[in-house]
Amino acid sequence: MKRLGLVPSRSFDFRRLVLHHVLDGDTDIQTRYFSFLPEDRLKLTEGVHISRRGERVLVVEPVSAKWTILAAPKKLLQSLKEGVLLGDFFRGAGPEERGRREIMETLYSRGMLSVNGFRQKCRGPIPYPEKYPMFFSLHMAEGCNFNCNYCYMDAALQGQKMSAETARLIIKRIARDLPIKEFTLEFHGGEPLLNFSVIRETMEFALHEAKRYFKRVDFSMQTNGSLIKDEVLTQIKGFPFSLGVSLDGPEMIHNRNRIFPNGKGTFRSVMKGLDLARAAGLDPGVIVVVDDPTTYIETCKFLFSKGVTKFRLNPMACQGRAGTTKEFDAKRPAKFVEEYLKLIDFLVSYKQENPEVFVDIWNINIYILHLMTPYRPFMCARSPCGAGNAIMGFSHEGDVYPCDEFVGRPEFRLGNIRDPGVSLAALIEEHPLCAKLQNRTIETLPKCKACPWRNFCGGGCAAKANDHRGDAWREDPMCEFFSGFYEELAWKIWDDRRLLDLLGQYRRYVSS
């Protein structure tokens, strides 16, 4: 086969390189052959994002969420940006012909390059077909025995509790109204263990109702840990139950924000509860609320030293009490990016030194998964988010909300579990708020429309946008963190495949 550079007047066949590249999440693309002519016009796809570092460029196709890094001279890339004939693209290439072929093939295979206005169709993030929620958050107690500085519920020491009757009504409606085969009940608060007797009764009733309607149910609870006692652990034994404990790091860091009403730190009471749960055979997950990102590494070292390798690192949100006790300036997202990158370097080194340790840190595993595959398993990182289609929240009074983070905000109330004649399915299908939330997507959020990382982050949290910006139909308060971090993470993954070892539970989705 003669090369285009030698015979520019004849057609040119080349094999498009669609080897199963580690950065290409599509496994269903077959190798094909195409025939191009010198007069065919090449042009970068509209909206492609280009970021240069030295001789290399990061190219992102935002619609399909495909990306790559190439060694491409500025002049060559500029010609593709403006549009260039195939013959001109290869003319005078000489020894650079192979490199130009690879650039063309890589860009075309990822839908980043069009030929005469046509481009390769690439699969984007896999849409989740869920119409009805399968995760239900029950606010069992509005009060809390802690007085944390950043409490997103602004929970008081004394607060009302969900009655057993209300809990039973919720369970009945879930099991009866919704065409789902399985569901999860999460017990939330405030501090849910302040109402443990009702939790215990609710689990028994839920198992009965699930069996009655041929469904499966499991349970989870997020607790501050201080009220975990032997009698609690004994009573939940045998239930399909997962436990999450809030712990912000070593004592000095934890006690900065997580305090009792008298101002004293809660660290020791939390650790006691966590240790009891682990001794009882539970494997509690830990949620860390990060106020100061410079503590990331110190916190991880502490948790690893305690044998905790499965946890979440949640940036403190501007919600509830934090809205008046904390500052959220414009530089905050950039600081989180800077410290997150340091944490990534630390974790890569830690895994190298401790390959036998299973490290599963959410959010890190989700960020890497989104860059490496089209899968979006986490409801809060999809577009639209899971509000009203993957999750529902219930207040202690039985008020129904499209998400537990909306609980207590009247403008997001869908109704009450006691309202006659309206099923949960009807609320989801017919309530205008649910329809409006389903339309909150990266295509409708003003700032997301032009962002190259929109299909990686999903647009963020409507509740956090509402509390921080006064408008749920705005971007997430940490928008600049997501866009900045995804870009930096892409460069890191390209240069160091060891980052794949940080995927934790999602490692099986990405080939080596």
User: Which residues contact residue 337 at a Cβ distance below 8 angstroms, ignoring those fewer than 6 apart?
Assistant: 481, 484, 485, 488
Please state, in angstroms and as integers, the Cα–Cα distance from residue 475 to each residue in 392, 443, 445, following that order: 21, 12, 7
How far, in Å, are 2, 207, 386 from residue 170 at the CA level? 72, 13, 19
**DSSP secondary structure of 429-459:** HH-HHHHHHHT-STTTSTTTTT-TTHHHHTT
In single-letter form, the type of residue at position 26 comes to D
- Write the pLDDT tens digit of every residue in 220-250: 999 999 999 999 999 999 999 999 999 999 9
Q: Which run of H or E residues covers position 205?
A: helix 196-212
Residue 127: per-residue pLDDT: 79
> Cβ neighbours of residue 117 under 8 Å, at least 6 residues apart?
41, 43
- Each residue's pLDDT, cut to its tens digit, for the chain (512 residues) gives 333 332 232 333 433 333 333 334 443 433 344 567 888 999 999 999 999 999 999 999 999 999 999 999 999 999 999 999 999 998 888 888 889 999 999 999 999 999 999 888 888 888 777 789 999 999 999 999 999 999 988 888 788 999 999 999 999 999 999 999 999 999 999 999 999 999 999 999 999 999 999 999 999 999 999 999 999 999 999 999 999 999 999 999 999 999 999 999 999 999 999 999 999 999 999 999 999 999 999 999 999 999 999 999 999 988 888 888 888 888 999 999 999 999 999 999 999 999 999 999 999 999 999 999 999 999 999 999 999 999 999 999 999 999 999 999 999 999 999 999 889 999 999 999 999 999 999 999 999 999 999 999 999 999 999 999 999 999 999 999 999 999 999 999 999 999 999 999 999 999 86
User: How high is the pLDDT of residue 185?
Assistant: 99
What is the pTM for the complete model shown? 0.90
Element containing residue 17 per DSSP (H, E) = none
Structure tokens at 22: 């580690």
Torsion of CA 494, 495, 499, 500, to 10 degrees: 50
39-92 residue pLDDT tens: 899 999 999 999 999 999 999 999 999 999 999 999 999 999 999 999 999 888
CA–chain centroid gap for 456, Å, is 9
Could you read off the pLDDT of 349-400 as tens digits, one per residue?
999 999 999 999 999 999 999 999 999 999 999 999 999 999 999 999 999 9
